[in-house]
Amino acid sequence: MTQSEDSNTSALTQSTQPPPRVHQTHKSQVIQLLLKGLTLGQRLRKNTEIEEMNEAQALARLEKALDPEADPDEVIPDDTSLITIESRERRALKAPTFLASFSRVPKSLRCVLAAEEVAERELDKAAKRKIDGEDTGTKKRTRKLRAEKPRVLGQQSEIEIHQLLKDTDAFCSVPLHYFTNKNLQYINVHAYKVPVTKANPEKGEKARTIIDIPKLDDILGKEDEMTFGDYAVAHPNFYRMIIELDPQGVQGTQSRFYKNHFSFFNHQIDKVEEFEAWRALE
């Protein structure tokens, strides 16, 4: 190929390539920083406006394709990208009352939230069917469930410890702050959307569904954020679960270990003042 032919080919290639996309929203780093500074409500409202504009442009492109001679010089701009909504904000928007507090929410975001909610419910149903279908009597566990204690009139009922917590404890350490009354209630009420994962089963056993601790920490907070008040409420609930799981109950090895473990810290005179210092050791 001659130099002239090569130049012609290069020019032809360049002429057939689509022009670079022009950013309509995130035009510069300064604008990107300003967009991040908007409140969630402002970003949702702006995204609704962008979505409506993109829909109008999509219809205009269709009309132009159906009748290209109607306005041959008309130039329809590229779609404008939406402003980012953080994942933690999206999780919060799944709460109906929180979502309802915003006057304008993009239809595309509502669709995504609804699809995620349906998917989470289906995953939870599948996980629940698997948990309910497992025969715990044939499991080669070192700890087995004990009979549920009857309720006593005049006494406050203990909050139920969800099976997910017990299954998780069989494979790894469950963070103590999961056992505050508030967090136990959250897990019981929202069990269908508590993040889960599969545990590596022992030989001859089925895979077990357990809590995905890093993901649940994103919802309930970290163990190192626990206050002494949280600890005071959580450790009796945790100990109650250990007694239920220990084959020998309160006299079992696990039960006695944790009784001595918690007693050591509870009998320290300065346990409240020095809680942050010994929290990690606990």
Residue given tokens 């003042």 in the structure block: 273
Could you tell me which residue, 236 or 17, shows the higher pLDDT? 236
Within-domain flag for 122 = yes
Position 101 in a domain: yes
pLDDT at 198: 87
Does 15 fall in a domain?
no
Q: What is the pLDDT of residues 73-101, one digit of tens each?
A: 777 777 888 888 888 888 888 888 888 88
* Pair 223, 126 in one domain: no
pLDDT tens-place string over residues 171-208: 888 998 999 999 999 999 998 889 998 887 777 777 78
Residue 263 lies in a domain: yes
Which ranges of the chain does DSSP label H, i.e. alpha helix? Answer: 3-16, 29-36, 40-66, 87-93, 96-100, 107-133, 163-169, 181-189, 213-220, 228-245, 253-266, 275-278
Do residues 211 and 219 make contact, with C-beta atoms less than 8 angstroms apart?
no
Q: Is 49 a domain residue? A: yes
The residue among 139, 136, 145 whose CA lies nearest residue 202 is: 139
* 150 vs 136: CA distance, rounded Å: 21
Q: What's the domain count of the chain?
A: 2
Q: Are 124 and 191 members of one domain?
A: no
39-48, 147-156, 230-239: the lowest-pLDDT one: 147-156
pTM of the model: 0.44
Containing domain of residue 235, as a range? 160-278
50 within domain boundaries: yes
Whether residue 269 is contained in a domain is answered as yes
Q: Is residue 219 part of a domain?
A: yes
Q: Which residue has the tokens 């419910």?
A: 121
Task: Of 35-39, 42-46, 155-159, give the lowest mean pLDDT range.
Answer: 155-159
With 70 as the cut, is the pLDDT of residue 136 above it? no
Element holding 209 (H helix, E strand): strand 208-211
- Cβ contacts of 237 within 8 Å, gap of 6 or more: 158, 159, 161, 179, 180, 181, 184
Which pLDDT does position 212 carry in this prediction?
A: 92
